[in-house]
Amino acid sequence: MNAALRLGTRRSALAMAQSQMVADAVAEASGRAVELVPIVSEGDVNRASLSQLGGRGVFANGLREALAADRCDFLVHSLKDLPTLQPDGLVIAATPPREDARDVVVTRDGTALSALPAGAKVGTGSPRRIAQALRHNPGVDIHDIRGNVDSRLARVRDGELDAVILAAAGIARLGGDLGGLSAEYLGLAEWPTAPGQGSLAVETRADIAPEILAALAALDDTATRVEITAERTILSVLDAGCHAPVATHASLTDGDLRLRAIVYALDGSHRIGIDRTVRLEPGYGGEPGSGNGANAADDGGPIARASRAGQEAARRLLERGAADLVPRESTT
């Protein structure tokens, strides 16, 4: 009987929940049991703000070290936390179908972010969300916070904060219960989110057994892979960190890739944006479950075209002055 596969994951409730979803799918695809291996990342123990930590892969490095040391067979990441530079010897074997990519403003009474009174306390640790919130409502008082979803919601429920801004995907993967609080879902046209938000990345060693790689690749969703490739290419070309004030969202419909990207000043006072649609290929719709996996980025087809679309979008942003707004991160 084959030994159980070992899935490395962060210890948070959200990480464990989304890792268990992947574990169940891999077990079905491989016919082998999958056990979770909780691992502590730098981002779990370093309580500095995300703006100070920057884009150094603080939520991924510890997991990747465990994978390279053969303490686990594969990892599950929230893709938005991954640096765009892929380490030697590791591959993204699959990007499962994407969850809701939107952000959510959670309040006690349902007041919209734009309607919050001057001085209202809004909690978020993301420089992107800080810039967006200040642009939508310059009068709010931003509180730079860290912590899991439950602890952030509790700070609103207890009156310490008037609102928090969270990822819709995280709320959904934890069951969607806000404990009596109200949610305002923010439209992606005006409020694009972090590159890769709502997506998971299943990462493994390049030399893993072929049958394991095949089982992981069976989870890959081509439409998701196309969209996140375009988004993350923009981040890479801009040389911005994972937590820079860069917002992107790509959506694939009937072969057309619509790509929206905005770079913000840290205080939200200025932004540079682009919105363009690229035809990938006639009749291409990005069928779910295509299982292209680790080879998808090399197929010269829609993935490569999505990468080129991202490069062109980033080039146009730079021509318009985006480099003056983006904190540079050579380790992205």
pTM metric for this prediction: 0.87
Active-site residue (options: 64, 102, 128, 258)? 128
Backbone φ, ψ for residue 281 (5° rounding): -170, 150
Active-site residue (options: 205, 242, 260, 305)? 242
B/e letters for 126-163, b = 16+ CB within 10 Å, e = fewer, are bbbbbbbbbbbbeebebbebbebbeebbbbbeeeebbb
Q: What domains does the chain contain, in order, with CATH numbers?
A: 5-99+194-324 (3.40.190.10), 103-185 (3.40.190.10)
- The H or E element containing residue 58 is none
Residues of the chain with pLDDT under 70: 1, 41-58, 241-243, 282-300, 327-332
Percent of the chain's residues with pLDDT above 70: 85
pLDDT of residue 297: 43
Active-site residue (options: 56, 108, 146, 316)? 146
pLDDT of residue 325: 86
pLDDT of residue 332: 43
pLDDT of residue 299: 47
Active-site residue (options: 10, 64, 73, 81)? 81
- Told to judge if 146 belongs to the known catalytic residues of this protein, a careful annotator would answer yes
Side-by-side strand order, sheet with 200-205: 34-38, 5-9, 74-78, 200-205, 90-94
CA-nearest of 283, 320, 297, 258 to 101 is 258
- C-alpha distance across the termini of the chain, in Å: 41
pLDDT of residue 53: 46
Q: Which amino acid is at 297?
A: A
Distance of CA 283 to the CA centre of its chain: 28
| Separation CA 192–CA 251 (nearest Å) | 11
- Told to judge if 152 belongs to the known catalytic residues of this protein, a careful annotator would answer yes
How does DSSP classify residue 314?
Answer: H
- Told to judge if 129 belongs to the known catalytic residues of this protein, a careful annotator would answer yes
Can you read off the two tokens belonging to residue 174? 């934890």
- Told to judge if 242 belongs to the known catalytic residues of this protein, a careful annotator would answer yes
CA-nearest of 35, 46, 44, 41 to 66 is 41
Active-site residue (options: 64, 98, 135, 152)? 152
Query: For the chain, how many helices (H) and strands (E)?
Result: 10, 13
| Separation CA 102–CA 94 (nearest Å) | 21
- Told to judge if 81 belongs to the known catalytic residues of this protein, a careful annotator would answer yes
Q: Where are the alpha helices (DSSP H) in the chain?
A: 13-30, 42-45, 50-53, 61-68, 127-136, 149-157, 168-173, 210-217, 222-238, 302-319
Active-site residue (options: 6, 64, 80, 135)? 80
Q: Which residue has the tokens 């070290």?
A: 65
